[in-house]
Structure 1
Amino acid sequence: MDVAMTSTTQTVCPSCGGPVSEADRFCEACGAELSPSTPSTPALDTDTEPTVEIMTGTSPVGPCQSCGGVIGAEGYCETCGTKAAKVRDHYTEQPSPWVAGVCDRGIRHSRNEDALAIAADPEPGSRALLVVCDGVSSSLDSDVASLAASRAARDVLTAGHAQGLGTESSRSSAMVARLEAAADAANDAVLDNTSPDSPNPASCTFVATILEDGVLVAGNVGDSRAYWFPDEAEAVALTVDDSWAAELIATGISREEAESGPHAHAITRWLGKDAPDHTPRTTTLRVTGPGWILVCSDGLWNYCSEAAPLADLVRQTAAASGGDPMATASALVDWANAQGGQDNITVALARL
């Protein structure tokens, strides 16, 4: 495909959960007729509002990837008995050739509670919006809530292009305000997907970045992270975790000790009904050269936490992947799984 074209997005059949593309009129798995408005992830310059489908993760992808047989109601192939993959176990988004993301269940978890939602203009380095949410495993329906939250946030971010009063400082302030509004929408989406009488209400982390006209704004709630890795300058961690580990590090305890302790992944802020505060902490910087924006869940940074070595990993992986964002994100997910895959893994990249 010509790199100047927006990549064809892929979604799922509403009847069987099988993968389909925008060009398909019928599902190849079950033969169901597809609506012309089958949801997809559009580039930012489209004239229509993006449509969001919520993948609960309960529907298996069919047919059987091992033998082509029918997947039964219990999620196993009726011919060979192989357990079917679910739509939510592994999915990708690529709104433009220079922006891509991969969300994966990992190896150890039974379901994928991470979620990813991204958007971008076609022109490389122009405008990109990356959102990642990580459902809290101990809460109910966190997989549904995290996906709803990430996509609600993306919809808010795509709705406007902050100009401020014409100065860079006012434009940055407007971008921060929009990111905070996106976090509000994400929190509302979590509440909408939480049962009123739930004994353990759904909750998730939140991290988002906005790149517009050389200004990069990042904000987070919880321990999902954003980084800026310039090609010829020092790597920058754009976010600070809301976690017990981060508080220990602030007191002088080494990062290695804090992030390997028994409460290393206990977060102190989150989105959800019982959240103490969901206003993201934000940072803003001017991007002046080529590099990578990385937004990820702890499924990746668990194995490479500090900015400098993680930047080296991204650069080396990108070099081995021909500099392609989708291939690089996929390879980083594969790398995390090779380290043990003990958590869900989400990697979103923008190449400037």
Structure 2
Amino acid sequence: MPPLPESARAAQSAPPALCPNCADPLDADDRFCGSCGHDLAAPVPAPAPVPAAQAPPAAPPAPAAERPEEGPATDAFVLAPPKPAGAAQEAGGETLALGVALPGARLSDPREEPPAPEGPVCVACGLGGVDDDGYCEHCGHAQPRQRDHQEQELEGVAAVSDRGLRHHRNEDAFAVATASLPDGTPAVAAVVCDGVSTAYRPDDASAAASTAGRESLLASLERGTPAEDAMRAALMSAFEAVTALAAEEEPPGGVPHHNAPACTCVSAVVTGPVFTVGWIGDSRAYWIPDDRTLPASRLTEDDSWAARMVSAGLMSEAEAYADERAHAITGWLGADAIEVDPHVAAFQPEGPGVIVVCTDGLWNYAESAAEMAEAIPADARVRPLHSARTLLGVALDGGGHDNVTVAVLPFPAAVSRAGFPSA
């Protein structure tokens, strides 16, 4: 083995008490640290140079008489030394950029925070406000629309509406309400509407129809109108509300809109021992008894191409609904509707259960009454909101290809008192 260098021998003869690398205690004959393996014979590295920012300030320039003679001018750019800390205030707010003072420039203080926006704050960046079009004014992120997911629960009814997983907006709408008949009997209602996506302003159509249908239905019932007549009037009021949207868009001259706002509608109202269902289009209603040994029932017939093929005996139900034309509707609410023929039916079940009213965004994944009964929880009558959420989950788990809206009405009406105001 070659002899150790002089510096190494000196280090070996007088080892440090602590490892210079990890500060672990050393023995007298250690050549390497037992903890970190550091070579104790290695020279200690030189200290790091002091950064320029921490260097002591340069000496002031010599008087002109003592300065050496200046050499010839060169093209080299020399950055002026940093300005002292208080210089910005002394210069009246001027700051330095590459050693040059820019008049009017303002030194930004990193401690300053942007003013808090008035109104809603962006859900993405948390900084910017939200403009009238629903976009962040700071980062441009689109904000969730209010109608993307909605829930409402009243005594005796609950409803949920969701955009689904594929649509860019929710074109469904619902309205739920409670009222009291003249004799004190409680009435509980739900109106569910599905905007026709190929029409103009389908989201406005469904919103207008659901609101108008609910208000008309409750007003008629509170006047003592029989439930079936009140339902027909409500569907016609919904039709008129959607038709009025087309009139708003007519250009000068009164030329009708060629793609008028449109939607479908299904509604149910529980009044004492009877409930009544009304519909136009392919939104549906189902009866699910508490006793699951009893059969569930589909209460509505679609206004659709498939339903017409089946009723005419031209195709079986399986064949018709497998056709790509199956969901082409033959009845709807809108100014360009071919005919408006409200369907109304009343039912008086022998036992308790729930009425499910929904758009095709749900029944596409639970089409038959048996499938709907299997999908809804067994305690649906006592937990209507939970049941509506569960049915929404069935649609989303199935693919969520469409907007999904569902209302659940317990029967008999699950109310604690006979008289209560409309909602």
Band the TM-score falls in, shorter-chain normalisation: 0.7 to 0.9
Q: Does 1:208 align with 2:267?
A: yes
Match of 2:396 in 1: 337
Does the alignment pair 1:137 with 2:197? yes
How far apart, CA to CA, are the structure 2 residues paired with 1:93 and 1:176? Answer: 25
Whole-angstrom CA distance in 2 between matches of 1:271 and 1:192: 11
Alignment correspondent of 1:181 = 233
Superposed, 1:23-172 pairs within 5 Å as: 62-73=120-131, 75-78=134-137, 82-96=141-155, 98-120=156-178, 126-161=186-221
CA contact (8 A) 1:162 1:175 kept: no
Q: Alpha carbons of 1:315 and 1:70: their partners in 2 closer, same or farther (altered >3 Å)?
A: same
Tell me what 1:295 maps to: 357
Shift of 1:256: 3.3
* Pairing 1:259–2:318 present: no
Contact kept? 1:224, 1:241, Cα under 8 Å: yes
Is contact 2:121-2:130 (8 Å) kept?
Answer: no
Residue in 1 that maps onto 2:340: 278
8 Å Cα contact 2:161-2:173 kept in structure 1:
yes
1:80-117 deviations in Å (ceiling 9; x for gaps): 66431101211122222x31101111111112111101
Report deviation, 1:146: 1.1
Contact 2:264–2:281 (CA under 8 A) maintained in structure 1: yes
Aligned pairs (5 A) from 1:187-198: 187-194=239-246, 195-196=249-250, 197-198=256-257
User: What secondary structure, in the 3-state scheme, does the structure 1 residue paired with 2:221 have?
Assistant: coil
For the residues of structure 1 that align with 2:347 and 2:139, how far apart are their CA atoms?
A: 54
Cα deviation digits, residues 137-156 of structure 1 (max 9, x gap): 11101110111111100001
Matches of 2:316 and 2:377, distance apart in 1: 26
8 A contact 1:129–1:209 mirrored in 2: yes
User: Is residue 63–residue 71 contact of structure 1 (8 Å, CA) maintained in 2?
Assistant: yes
Q: Distance in 2 between matches of 1:155 and 1:67?
A: 40
Q: Distance in 1 between matches of 2:118 and 2:219?
A: 35
- 2:304 equivalent in structure 1: 243
Higher RCO (CA-CA < 8 Å; seq separation 6+): 1
What count of residue pairs does the alignment treat as equivalent?
281
Shift of 1:121: 5.0
**Deviations for 1:48-97, whole angstroms, at most 9, x for unmatched residues?**
xxxxxxxxxxxxxx43334533354353445566431101211122222x
Q: For the residues of structure 2 that align with 1:30 and 1:314, how far apart are their CA atoms?
A: 44
Is 330-339 or 237-246 further displaced after alignment? 330-339
Aligned 8 A contact 2:273 2:348 in 1: yes
TM-score (norm. length: structure 2): 0.61
Q: Please report how far the alpha carbon of residue 331 of structure 1 lies from its aligned counterpart in structure 2 after TM superposition.
A: 2.2
Once residues 337 and 188 of structure 2 are traced to their aligned partners in structure 1, the CA distance between those partners, rounded to angstroms, is: 28
Residues 162 and 135 of structure 1, relative CA distance in 2, 3 Å threshold? same
Partner of 1:218: 277
Q: Under a length normalisation based on structure 1, what TM-score does the superposition of the two structures give?
A: 0.73
Change (3 A) 1:69 1:245: farther
* C-alpha separation in 2, matches of 1:80 and 1:334: 32
CA contact under 8 A between 1:180 and 1:279: conserved in structure 2? Answer: no
**CA contact 2:259–2:336 (8 Å) conserved in 1:** no
Runs (5+) with no aligned partner, structure 1: 1-28, 33-61, 165-170
Give the structure 2 partner of residue 227 of structure 1: 286
Larger CA deviation: 134-143 vs 283-292: 283-292
Tell me, yes or no, if structure 1 residue 269 matches structure 2 residue 335.
Answer: no
Contact 1:104 1:112 in 2 (8 A): yes
Q: C-alpha separation between the residues in 2 aligned to 1:91 and 1:30?
A: 26
Contact 1:214/1:288 (8 A) holds in 2: no
Gapped runs of 5+ residues in structure 2?
A: 1-115, 251-255, 412-423
Note the alpha carbon deviations across 1:151-203, whole angstroms, 9 max, x for none: 10000111133797xxxxxx8xx211111100111011001111234221111
1:79 and 1:31, CA in 2 relative to 1: closer, same or farther beyond 3 A? closer
1:35 is matched with none
| Cα distance between partner residues in 2 of 1:78 and 1:163 | 50
CA distance in 1, matches of 2:194, 2:362: 12
- CA–CA distance in 2 between the matches of 1:179 and 1:349? 18
Amino acid at match of 1:235: A
Cα distance in 2, alignment partners of residues 235 and 302 from structure 1: 17
Matched residue SS, 1:315? coil
Q: For structure 1, which segment, 276-285 or 247-256, has the greater mean C-alpha deviation from structure 2 after superposition?
A: 247-256
Counterparts of 2:118 and 2:122, CA distance in 1: 15
